[in-house]
Structure 1
Amino acid sequence: MPISSGTIKFISSLRRKKMRQNYHNFTAEGHRIVAELLAQDAYPVKHIYALENWAAEHGAGLTVPLTVVTPRELGRITQLTTPNQVLALCDIPAIPTDLPGGIAEGWSLYLDGIQSPSNLGALLRIADWFGFQHVIGGPGTADLYNSKTIQASMGSFLRVSYRTGELSEITTAFPELVTFGADLDGEDIFSVNAPTRGVLVIGSEGPGIREEARSQVQRWVTIPRAAERQAESLNAAVAAGILAGQLVNGVR
C-alpha cells in the first residue's frame, strides 16, 4: 500500500517538539540506526518507510509494517537535508525522572542547558565511548528526540540511560560522588588525580553552567590552552570528550 498524504503530513509534523510530545512518536533515519532500533525493545518501532532497494535487501523477515516509498515521498517525510534510504517511526517511552542507584557505581554526565540538539547527540556518543552509563539533561537542554540529536548520537541514545532532572537531586541522593564542573579557571585536567566514579557537569557554550548548578559543583577543571593562543573556548562536546577521557583514563 502506498504512503498516504495524511501519513506524510503526520510524519512531517514530528519535526516539532510539541507534536512529538503529543503523539509520543519520533523518527530515526539511516540503515545503521534503524537496524539497531529493530534489534532492541526500549524504543518500539511502529513502521518502516524505505526505498525499494532497501526493502528488497533488508525487508525479508521484518516483524513491523514496511511501506515502500519513492525518493520523492521519502524527501517529504525526512528530517535530514539529504534523505537516507530508510526511516523508522518509533514510540517515545516515558523518560524516567527518578535516579537509579547505578549512578553511584561509575561516571555520569550532567548537561546543564545544552541547547544544541547536535551537541546533545555528540555528548551522548562521548558518554557511550567512555563508558558513562547515565546522562542527565538539566533545564534548557535540547530534546532527546529531535532528529538532529538522534542522528548525531549515531545510535548511542540506545546504549546510554538518559533522564532529566536537577543536579541538586544527584548531589543530595549521592553525596559520596565528587561533582566536577568545566570552567576556564579550574584545575588543569591533566594534573587531576580523579576518583573512579563521579559526575561531570558540562554547560552551554555561551553562558556556561547556571548558578543553580554551580553551587553543586565541588571541583572545577579546565583544559589548558596553548600559550599565546586566543581561542575563547572549546565546543561543549569537544571539551566534554577531553575531560571525560582524562577523568576515566587518567593516572590515579
Structure 2
Amino acid sequence: MFNKTHTKYIQSLHHKKFRDENGVFIAEGTKVVLELLDSREFVCLQLFAVNDWLNNNENALKKYSGIEVLEIKDFELLKISMLTTPKNVLAVFKKKTASTIKSIKKKITLLLDTIQDPGNLGTIIRTADWFGIENIVCSPACADMYNPKVVQSTMGSLARVNIFYTDLEEWLQKNNTVKRYAAALNGKNINSLKEIDEAIIVIGNEGKGISDDVMKLVDEKITIPKKGEAESLNAAVATGIILAVIS
C-alpha cells in the first residue's frame, strides 16, 4: 500500500544527489514509461499508477516481471509528480551502467558544451534519436540526463541514444581523426555541408556558447544563415536545423 515513505522517497528523486545515491531515476506518463519498459535498457523497480491506468494497461504490464506495482489516488500522484498535471503513472527505473563510446568513425556525433537547461537537453536527445544519432558526448556541467524534465522531454528516446559525460577537451584531443565542427555565429554556411556521414558537431551553452578551450580544438565553425533580427537560436532548435541540413 502506498504510504508516506513512498512519498518521501519519490520526492527525494527529484534531486540529483539522491538519484545518484540510489542509482535510480523517475519517469512519468504512459508513452515515456511504456517506451522505457519496452526498450529493456532500463530495469523498472516500482510503478505507481491510478486505477484506470492499471486497468487499461493490465496486459502490457504482464510482459514485465519483478516490478512492484502500487495503485495510488490522484491526490497521492500529485504529491510525487514533477508535472503540474500528473499523467496517471510514475515509474522508478534503475540507471544504466555509465556509457562509453566504442567508435565515432562513419557517424555523426554530438558534443554538448554545458547545456544546462533540462528541457533543451531532453529535446536534443529526442532530436538526435529522430536523425539516427547514436552518441552524445556531454561536458560534466551539462544537465543530468536523468533529471525528470530531461527524461520527460526525451519521450522515450533516452533508451535509444548513448549519452556519455566526460571532459570535452580531453575527449576531443583523443578523437582527433574525425573533423570537428562548432556551431557559431560567424562560421561557414551550413548549407555547404550537406550529406556529411562523419563529423563531431559541437553545440555550446545557451548563453555563453562554446567555451574558448573547446573552440580551440575544433576544425571549423559553422553557422545557420540568419534572415531576421533575432540575436541567436535556442540550442536545441539549432541542433535540429544542423542535423536536418547535414543528414
Q: TM-score, normalised by structure 1?
A: 0.92
The aligned amino acid for 1:187 is K
Instruction: Provide the secondary structure at the position in 2 that maps to 1:183.
Output: strand
8 Å Cα contact 1:171-1:177 kept in structure 2: no
Deviation, structure 1 residue 191: 2.4
Deviation, structure 1 residue 172: 3.2
How many Å separate the matches in 1 of 2:37 and 2:194? 41
How many Å separate the matches in 1 of 2:184 and 2:143? 21
How many Å separate the matches in 2 of 1:224 and 1:247? 14
8 Å Cα contact 2:77-2:86 kept in structure 1: yes
8 Å Cα contact 2:25-2:92 kept in structure 1: yes
Specify the alignment match of 1:129 in structure 2.
Answer: 130
**Which one of the candidate residues 71, 75, 80 is aligned to 1:77?**
80
8 Å Cα contact 1:181-1:217 kept in structure 2: yes
Deviation, structure 1 residue 23: 0.9
Specify the alignment match of 1:27 in structure 2.
Answer: 26
5+ residue gaps, structure 1, are none
Deviation, structure 1 residue 194: 5.5
CA distance 1:193–1:73, change in 2 (3 Å) = closer
1:53 aligns to 2:52 (yes or no): yes
1:44 aligns to 2:4 (yes or no): no
Deviation, structure 1 residue 106: 0.6
8 Å Cα contact 1:24-1:92 kept in structure 2: yes
Of residues 167-176 and 35-44 in structure 1, the stretch that sits farther from structure 2 once superposed is 167-176
Instruction: Provide the secondary structure at the position in 1 that maps to 2:144.
Output: coil
5+ residue gaps, structure 2, are none
Deviation, structure 1 residue 168: 3.2
Instruction: Provide the secondary structure at the position in 2 that maps to 1:136.
Output: strand
Q: TM-score, normalised by structure 2?
A: 0.94
8 Å Cα contact 1:167-1:216 kept in structure 2: no
Specify the alignment match of 2:244 in structure 1.
Answer: 245
Instruction: Provide the secondary structure at the position in 1 that maps to 2:39.
Output: coil
Instruction: Provide the secondary structure at the position in 2 that maps to 1:182.
Output: strand
- Deviations for 1:205-231, whole angstroms, at most 9, x for unmatched residues? 2110011211111111111111xx321
How many Å separate the matches in 2 of 1:59 and 1:65? 14
How many Å separate the matches in 2 of 1:192 and 1:38? 38
1:200 aligns to 2:196 (yes or no): no
- Deviations for 1:19-73, whole angstroms, at most 9, x for unmatched residues? 1111111100111111112223321100110000011111341422210100011
RMSD (Å), alpha carbons = 1.4
Specify the alignment match of 1:231 in structure 2.
Answer: 230
8 Å Cα contact 1:51-1:68 kept in structure 2: yes
Specify the alignment match of 1:107 in structure 2.
Answer: 108
8 Å Cα contact 2:101-2:135 kept in structure 1: no
8 Å Cα contact 2:194-2:245 kept in structure 1: no
8 Å Cα contact 2:138-2:168 kept in structure 1: no
How many Å separate the matches in 2 of 1:199 and 1:166? 15
The aligned amino acid for 1:200 is I
The aligned amino acid for 1:231 is A
How many Å separate the matches in 2 of 1:41 and 1:235? 32
What is the identity percentage for the equivalent residue pairs of Structure 1 and Structure 2? 35
Specify the alignment match of 1:151 in structure 2.
Answer: 152
